[in-house]
Amino acid sequence: MLLKMLITNTKVGRNTKALVASVSERKLRHPDAMTAVFTSVDSISNKLATILESPAVDELAITEKEVLLESLMEMNQGLLQCMGVSHASIETVIRTTLKYKLSTKLTGAGGGGCVLTLLPT
């Protein structure tokens, strides 16, 4: 499935090592909750892969897939926020794209860097 994505660079540098350490510390303090978050992220990733790999027979099927992808992106971003890897600049982009009913999520380790916005076909 071909997707149209907008990549926005927040131009905020990040320290991946510090972010990983912060997530590890959060997992030590809240092991059950963080395990549930990681399990949910894995489930979303698997569902996303299934959607992208399944054929879309017509434009309606593509639109339905986009709706599913939007909700998965939003859930994933919420989980990444729970992990503590979002950033104020990322949240600003998300609020801005939300005004246009677009789904956006951070890329990579978070803490700044780029975000992806799904553009409908």
pLDDT at residue 56, as a whole number? 74
- Entry field: residues in the chain: 121
Binned at pLDDT 50, 70 and 90, residue 3 comes out as confident
How many domains does the chain contain in total?
Answer: 1
Q: Whole-prediction pTM value? A: 0.89
> CA 91 from chain center: how many Å?
12
Identify the DSSP state of 40: H
pLDDT tens digit string along 13-38?
Answer: 888 898 999 999 999 999 999 999 99
Tell me the three state secondary structure of residue 114: strand
pLDDT at residue 38, as a whole number? 97
pLDDT at residue 108, as a whole number? 79
pLDDT tens digit string along 52-103?
Answer: 898 877 776 888 899 999 999 999 999 999 999 999 999 999 999 999 999 9
**Residue 41: domain span:** 4-119
Tell me the three state secondary structure of residue 8: strand
CA dihedral 93, 87, 46, 17 (to 10 degrees): 140
Identify the DSSP state of 25: H
Supply φ then ψ for residue 5, to 5 degrees: -130, 140
pLDDT tens digit string along 44-61?
Answer: 999 999 998 988 777 768
Q: At 56, which CATH number?
A: 3.30.70.890
